[in-house]
Amino acid sequence: MNQKRYVMNKLIFLLICFINIPFLIVNATENAYVKEESKSYSLYLIRHAEKKLIKRMLD
């Protein structure tokens, strides 16, 4: 009886793990995408500031 319960618990645990794997992958890719977006936005801000500075120096 105890062995049966152990096997059932293992199966349920594995099932939950396999159900969660796609969500973990989606979260990881989403986080990477958001990081990339913020990186490109900060680069845009830096370039914009550089352009303003150069324009001010030339005037």
Residue 50 backbone phi and psi in degrees, to 5: -60, -45
Checking if the pLDDT of 10 tops 80, the result is yes
Q: Count other Cβ atoms within 10 Å, centred on residue 21.
A: 9
Rg value, the chain, Cα:
26
Higher pLDDT, 52 or 34: 52
Q: Note the pLDDT of residue 9.
A: 92
pLDDT band per the 50, 70, 90 thresholds, residue 20: confident
pLDDT band per the 50, 70, 90 thresholds, residue 27: confident
